[in-house]
Amino acid sequence: MTDTSQTLHINGRSVSLPTGLFINGQFVDCKQGARFSVQDPATGKTLISIAEGREDDVDEAVRVARQVFDTGEWSASNPADRGALLNKLAHLMEQNKDDVIALECADTGKTIQQCSTLDFPGSVGTLRYYAGWADKVRGETSFNIPGTFAYTRREPIGVCGQIIPWNFPLMMFIWKIAPALVTGNTVVIKSAEATPLSALKVCELIAEAGFPPGVVNLVSGYGRTVGSAIAHHMDIDKVAFTGSTATGRAIMRAAADSNLKPVTLELGGKSPNIIFPDADIDSAVEWSAWGINMNFGQTCHAGTRIYVHQDVYDEFLAKFTDRMSQVTVGHPFDASTNQGPQNSQMQYDKILGYIDSGVKEGATVHLGGKAIDKGNGGYYIQPTIFTNVRPEMKIMREEIFGPVVAIAEFSSEAEVIRQANNTPYGLAAACHTKDYERAIRVTNALRAGTTWVNMYNFVHWSVPFGGYKESGIGRECGEAVLENYTHTKAVYFNMGIPCPKV
């Protein structure tokens, strides 16, 4: 084991952090000795440098994960023991809450408020939820075929490769590993190169909790090396990915070109948020603001297309504009901050490019639309509202992943459903109305994996989450995700049925 720990000083707090790869229960240097820098989005300066994994490190992690899976030490262990370890990890996370939250805020630019009330408790809750599933992943029995008895077993798939995004690094790490582990799989996981720190800290806690070495392996690095190696690896049995649609396509191709491993994908979105004339406008304004302000628009299910009925358009726009103008953009650790910096220079430039395209295509910048210079090099952008938009504009069709929302009028239910579904994506959608017959009718018609009524951006670990169309394949969360991490084996017993004559 190599001592790779460093101490980060974050908001007056000293946090010890391992900086190596986590393989076989230990933090080790990468084989090629490479390292990469992690930036602080609040300043644009380097926070720390960590080990950069490469293809040969993935090979080693997979070898270890395969060995521990094949021995049955984890895959054939008592499911209740696996659940107990997930609960122990949840307990250790709570004991180290302040350190984990500090790392997540510093690494991502998230506000201390969001990390404390959403990301961290959501991660701990997910661990405890799947701990409860440990002894409940069961098969079925059948006596319905004369002369036979049949049953099914739910068996772990094997070595699972997992690739997580930069926007919710802590939560996505837990969303991925918890269902995979509780069903008996072993894991080789890649964190996003922009936000690897909370995963390193949690791996430290995984070792402290007493998980068998090799059950969880973390290889930090870049998509073109580590991510590609995971997707192409002949000894990885399944890949789960959250990120862009373009990368999801590449992973599917790699899986098909290698060992035809199953793939689950949670990808992009361009989600509609519909305000009907009978909606509680004040409530709709609050939820719509949360729909774009959560994580500063850096979420795949952000409500970036708001459709407002013409009868209440002026009222909604006035109140929504006032609400968005109250958003305080500032340092992540300032308790008064509602919106921190965007996560990276690349994302900052991308968002400003979309704003520029909206202006060039004739949309009106109703609010914001500019970068904010805080004098410290951080990646700050004003909350932005576009009006006078058309369906064919880039800002209405492509995922921006920033604090930018477009508002359009509609006149009828049928019209707005057509507009809402006029997208290659289908991750989320919402409607605001007091008419529950309309709410059921509209949510049934919306082509999206998650739909909300009189709310927005509420996701819970116990309810399946995933997309239609180009927003992905498969589901995260809830009982549904357990299907992604188990094979179903059928077993037949002959109870007197004669052998057919040839």
Q: What are the tens digits of pLDDT across the range 297-324? A: 999 999 999 999 999 999 999 999 999 9
Q: Is the pLDDT of residue 499 over 60?
A: yes
Residue 108's contacts (CB-CB under 8 Å, 6 or more residues apart) are 41, 166, 167, 169, 195, 332, 343
Token pair 């790490």 is found at: 173
The predicted pLDDT at position 2 comes to 59
N-term to C-term CA, the chain? 62
Residue 88 located in a structural domain = yes
**Has residue 472 got a pLDDT over 60?**
yes
- Given the residues 55, 193, 266, 476, select the one marked as catalytic: 266
**Residue in 474, 467, 477, 122 with CA at minimum distance from that of residue 271:** 467
CA distance 318 to 323: 9
The predicted structure's pLDDT at residue 267: 97
What predicted TM-score, i.e. pTM, was given to this entire model?
0.96
Per residue in 54-108, pLDDT tens? Answer: 999 999 999 999 999 999 999 999 999 999 999 999 999 999 999 999 999 999 9
Contact residues for 24 (Cβ-Cβ < 8 A; gap 6+): 64, 213, 214, 217
- Domain presence at residue 142: yes
Question: Is position 464 within any domain?
Answer: no
3: β partners:
none
Q: What mean pLDDT is reported for the chain? A: 97
pLDDT tens for 219-234 read 999 999 999 999 999 9
152 with 72, same domain: the answer is yes
pLDDT reading at 250 higher than 70: yes
pLDDT band, very low/low/confident/very high, at 4 (cuts 50, 70, 90) = confident
278 and 247 fall within a common domain: no
pLDDT the model gives residue 375:
86
In this structure, are strands 35-40 and 380-381 parallel, antiparallel, or unpaired? Answer: unpaired
168 inside domain: yes
User: What is the percentage of the chain residues whose pLDDT exceeds 90?
Assistant: 98
Percent with pLDDT over 70 in the chain: 99
User: Is residue 459 in a domain?
Assistant: no
pLDDT band at 3 (very low <50, low <70, confident <90, very high): low
Q: What is the pLDDT of residues 137-178, one digit of tens each?
A: 999 999 999 999 999 999 999 999 999 999 999 999 999 999
Residues 115 and 260 in one domain: yes
**Whether residue 209 is found in the same domain as residue 226:** yes
Domain count, the chain: 2
The DSSP result for 352-371, as a single string, is HHHHHHHHHTT-EEEE--SE
Instruction: Quote the CA–CA distance of 220 and 410 in Å, as a whole number.
Output: 46
List the domain range (segments joined by +) for residue 326.
272-453
CATH number at residue 340: 3.40.309.10
Instruction: Give the pLDDT confidence of 339-394 residue by residue, as tens digits.
Output: 999 999 999 999 999 999 999 999 999 999 999 999 889 999 999 999 999 999 99
393 in the same domain as 336: yes
Is residue 398 flagged as an active site residue? Answer: no
